[in-house]
Structure 1
Amino acid sequence: MASDDIAQLVQALSKTHLGDGELSYKGLGLKLDNAESVEGLVQEIEQYQDLRALRLEGNTLGVDAARAIAKALESKQQLQRCYWSDLFTGRLRSEIPMALKSLGSGLMTAGARLTVLDLSDNAFGPDGVKGIDQLLRSAACHTLRELRLNNCGMGIGGGKILAEVLTECQRRSLAEGTPLTLRVFVAGRNRLENEGASALAKAFQLMGSLEEVHMPQNGINHAGVTALASAMQHNKDLRVLNLNDNTFTKRGTLAMAQALGHLRNIQVINFGDCLVRCEGAIAMAAVLREGLPVLKELNLSFGEITEAAALVVAQALVDKSHMEKVDLNGNCLGEEGCEALREAMAAQDKGDMLASLSDDEGEPDEEDNDDEGEHEDDDDADASNGYNGCNEDDFVKENGMMANEESPSISQCPEEVLSFLECPSAEKLLQLGEMRRHLLPEVNILHPHKAVDVLLKVASLYCEEPVPKMAVLETFDMLLRKLLSSSALQTYVTFSTLLVLMGVLKGEGKRKKVALVPGHLLCLEHAVQQDYLAQHHASLLHCILSKNREALKSCSSSVDRLISALEKRCLD
């Protein structure tokens, strides 16, 4: 070992004791290749009688040096916290698993009981996960509270191995009467994709103890997000959920929104850069209105959300007394939309909570609507993301949602009802009589289009002749009342679907919009005046319709009537 290196180490050692049982070599940039290079460090470890935390991050550790340190750790039963991030810069990938195995062996021999293990920023890949396999399965990790593996290049394979190891740790710890209660899990920038995320979701569901989950930038789309959503609702004490820079789209956001409805302690939600889009944002608004009582931070930035949907989110924040920050930057609001959002937040005395809107991408061009289905099609190409081992429907059903779009109530309908649905007419509607109750298919949060399609078919038959008019309005009331009798999330999904099919709200997929007729708007005008439609429903409709009147210009007089009715109801 060179004399200047020894001098550097000696100087460093004089500053390593930081109290609370911590020995720190953090950020010293030491190149620790062999046993000789860590002699001083090993001596420090051996002489530290009550060593509880060892910080080695920011150095570079070779296999032989790791073995020497591991030997010193064999007597350190009190060690609880290992901060070993950024520890293998410049090392061969094949060296890292061997070094990790040695360190883990030392901890197991000592009988240590870890609470924190941080191996972030070590590009060890799936083989690196194998290097900590035995450690994570052992009693040394039955007490683990924080596992930090950010930016480790685990990939799908590493994610699946880690999930298996955590599941085994949970099983063994339960058998020994000391169940694993992991609270913080960090695994951003690991390219876990759908398979890795779904495997980990199963482990998370078994734990049920997580308080913070950070998995940003992992190439996860709606299938993996749905799996994680199912797992999160079993972790009732979850406080922080960070899935930034993955790809939710509508399906993933709906699943996650429903899961969030089960969580009363969540304080930070980061779904920025996740393509939440308009329908997803409205679903999140529903959950905000109905739950999330202690939420402090909400990040829906860079999600292709338009002005109307952003304003619906703002409306839903009115009773959120703990809110500190709302980030809607980088969306598609336009200059007027940004100003409208600022005004809406200021009106609630929450203007200072709104993050900068400096990166807003402006209102979407009309031709953007022609490409609405492209991203959704990309989501279905799961093979490109390595997703082939889990069935999304399984996770959806665990969330209490039916995944099958075919509705038994429709397939078993009387022939007269099926005939009406195939070719609606006022005459057929009148002939149905009591059989009209069979018109509404089973309410389905993932596939609400069938129910809304029936609603629009009935509304399209509106006329001023007293008898058919009464039949249409009574049927419309019956259908919409039932649709709005469910949770806030279900009702908001119903309205967003209705507005998408009417061409008022930008949606996903390639579903054909209905040919708008005055009856669609006049039936809604009637519904706005009924007791089953709540004031916040009217506010949602007014917010979106008033911002998109141009899409309804073919029925201008009916639009005026509907907007007027909505304004009156909002003031009630």
Structure 2
Amino acid sequence: MATDDIAQLADALSKTHVGDGELSYKGLGLKLDSEQSVKDIVQEIDQYQDLRALRLEGNTLGVEAAHAIAKALEKKDLLQRCYWSDIFTGRLRSEIPTALHSLGSALMCAGAWLTELDLSDNAFGPDGVKGIEQLLKSPTCHTLKELRLNNCGMGIGGGKILANALIECHRESSALGAPLKLKVFMAGRNRLENEGASALAKAFKLMGSLEEVHMPQNGINYTGVMALASAMRYNPELRVLNFNDNTFTKRGTLAMAQALKHLKNIQVINFGDCLVRSEGAIALAAVLKEGLPILKELNLSFGEITEAAALVIAQATAEKFHMEKLDLNGNCLGEEGCEALREVMEQREKGEMLASLSDDEGEPEEEDDEDDADENDSGNEIDEDECGSGKKEGFINEDSPTKPTCSAEVMAFITSPTVEKLLQLGETRVNVQQQVETSDPHKAAELLMKVAALYHDEPEAKEAVLETIDGVMKKCLSGSDLQSYCFLSTLLVIMGLLKGEGKVKKMSLVPGQLLCLEHAVQQNYFKPDYTSLLYTFLSKNTEALKSCSSARDKLMSTLENTLNSEEN
């Protein structure tokens, strides 16, 4: 080693922090190639009797240097925390697995019990994961609480290797009576995609101990998101969920919403840049209404959410006592929508909670409903019992009972509703509601609108239609708020008041349908929250109801009166 290099190393080591069981070389920028280059570091490690934490971040280790440090670590059985992020800058990718294997083997040889392992910002790829595979499976990691692997380029293959190692670690530790209880998992920017995410989901479900999960920017779309959502519900102590910059769309968001129903300890949700869209936002608002009691932060930025859906989210978060930040920046609100959002928050004295809206995309242009971005996805499909009904639309199955068989007359009416068929059913028309599948909101909403279109001033026909409407609506709104909000949002899509995903056939509205809604909102089964949701969308999309102006005005008046009476 040149004299100048030795002097530089000596100066760097003079700044080394030693104390509280920690030896730190963090951020010294040392280029450590040979055994000689780490001679002083090895000596310090050797002499540190109670070494519990070793920081090597921000230096670069070659194979020989790593091997020398590893030899020193073979005697450090008290070591618990390894902060080894960004330690291979400028190294050949073929070198890294060997260096990692040396370090891991040393920890295993020492009989150390790790609680924290940080290998972030090391672009080691799948081969690098192989370099730590044995370490992760070993008793040294049975006590692991925090695992950080951000920006490591693991890819699908690395994700699978990591998942299998964690599963093996849990199996072996459980057999010894002390199962692995990982609390913090970070693996952002790793190109895990659906297969890698789904593999890790199996490990997460098995452990059930996670408190923080950070997996931003991994190229995961709805199939991987659904697998992760299914696993999250088995981790009741979760406090932080960060899936920023993946692609949820409706199916993924609904699966996440269902998972969140089971998580009472969530404090931070980051679904920013996840293409949550308006239908997904409404589903999340439903979960906010009935759960998440200690939520502090919600990020739904850059998600193609429109004004009315954003307002529904704002109204729901404003009721949360612990809420500190709501981020809806970069959505499709428009100037008036941004102002309306600020006004809603100010009225509830929560103005300071709303993040900047400086990157708003403006109101969306009118266009035909696009195909769901996930239609042709080639990722692994998820079993139906993992994520709900498994229907193409991605709706929620909340264990609805099997629908009973019915007469040919009832089926004929459901297939092609007419006033004559409805009247002919007589008292048996009560069986119509029994055929409604609440797990398929689209079919339920479509049937409701078809029946409502039969509305007639003739007393007998009017009574039959409203009685049927009450039965169907009551059944669709009798489940959880999430199920009910999914049904109502689907109804809004069919009415042309909300842009949905995929090819959804909108109905040409007739006055009778709005008059049936006007009747429904006055019934006991129609909760105030549902009235507020309907009012928010109708008041922002009056153009869609232009062809039924008189019925629209009557419906709006009833909604306003109902909301006012609730406030008073």
Please, what TM-score do these two structures have when normalized by structure 2? 0.96
2:314 maps to amino acid = A
Are the aligned partners of 1:409 and 1:438 in contact in 2 as well (CA < 8 Å)?
no
Partner of 1:326: 326
Q: Please give the per-residue CA displacement for 1:206-265, whole angstroms capped at 9, x wherever unaligned.
A: 000000000000111111111111100100000000000000011110010010010100
Counterpart of 2:241 in 1: which secondary structure? strand
Partner of 2:486: 493
Partner of 1:395: 386
2:426 maps to amino acid = G
Partner of 1:372: 370
Partner of 1:382: 377
Counterpart of 1:366 in 2: which secondary structure? coil
Partner of 1:553: 546
Counterpart of 2:370 in 1: which secondary structure? helix
Q: How much has 1:408 moved relative to structure 2?
A: 9.4
Q: Please give the per-residue CA displacement for 1:46-66, whole angstroms capped at 9, x wherever unaligned.
A: 111111111111111111111
* Whole-angstrom distance in 1 between the partners of 2:278 and 2:552: 22
Contiguous gaps of at least 5 residues in structure 2: none
Q: 2:517 aligns with which of 520, 524, 539?
A: 524
Matched, 1:43 2:43: yes
* Whole-angstrom distance in 1 between the partners of 2:383 and 2:350: 38
2:527 maps to amino acid = A
Q: How much has 1:412 moved relative to structure 2?
A: 4.1
Matched, 1:310 2:310: yes
Q: How much has 1:345 moved relative to structure 2?
A: 0.6
Partner of 2:335: 335
1:395 maps to amino acid = E
Please, what TM-score do these two structures have when normalized by structure 1? 0.95
* Whole-angstrom distance in 2 between the partners of 1:52 and 1:532: 60
Counterpart of 1:326 in 2: which secondary structure? strand
* Whole-angstrom distance in 1 between the partners of 2:390 and 2:503: 26
Q: Please give the per-residue CA displacement for 1:431-467, whole angstroms capped at 9, x wherever unaligned.
A: 122332332345444x310111111111010011100
* Whole-angstrom distance in 2 between the partners of 1:79 and 1:245: 35
- Is the alpha carbon distance of 1:120 and 1:514 closer, same or farther for their aligned partners in structure 2, counting shifts above 3 Å? same
* Whole-angstrom distance in 1 between the partners of 2:382 and 2:225: 12
Q: How much has 1:413 moved relative to structure 2?
A: 3.5
Partner of 1:192: 192
Aligned residues: 561
Matched, 1:164 2:164: yes
- Is the alpha carbon distance of 1:74 and 1:409 closer, same or farther for their aligned partners in structure 2, counting shifts above 3 Å? closer
Q: How much has 1:100 moved relative to structure 2?
A: 0.3
Partner of 2:259: 259
Q: Pick which of 420-429 and 392-401 moved more.
A: 392-401
1:380 maps to amino acid = E
1:396 maps to amino acid = C
Counterpart of 1:160 in 2: which secondary structure? helix
Counterpart of 2:409 in 1: which secondary structure? helix
2:432 maps to amino acid = L
Partner of 1:450: 443
Q: 1:418 aligns with which of 411, 421, 435?
A: 411
Are the aligned partners of 1:190 and 1:217 in contact in 2 as well (CA < 8 Å)?
yes
* Whole-angstrom distance in 1 between the partners of 2:397 and 2:269: 29
Partner of 1:129: 129
* Whole-angstrom distance in 1 between the partners of 2:431 and 2:402: 7
Matched, 1:120 2:120: yes
Q: Please give the per-residue CA displacement for 1:396-446, whole angstroms capped at 9, x wherever unaligned.
A: 1499998899x996794321122112221111011122332332345444x
Counterpart of 2:144 in 1: which secondary structure? coil
Q: 2:477 aligns with which of 481, 484, 491?
A: 484
* Whole-angstrom distance in 1 between the partners of 2:290 and 2:323: 15
* Whole-angstrom distance in 2 between the partners of 1:371 and 1:539: 25
* Whole-angstrom distance in 2 between the partners of 1:183 and 1:381: 35
* Whole-angstrom distance in 2 between the partners of 1:207 and 1:303: 31
Are the aligned partners of 1:114 and 1:140 in contact in 2 as well (CA < 8 Å)?
yes
Q: Please give the per-residue CA displacement for 1:53-105, whole angstroms capped at 9, x wherever unaligned.
A: 11111111111111100000001011110011111111111110000000000
Q: How much has 1:163 moved relative to structure 2?
A: 0.5
1:122 maps to amino acid = N
Q: How much has 1:317 moved relative to structure 2?
A: 1.9
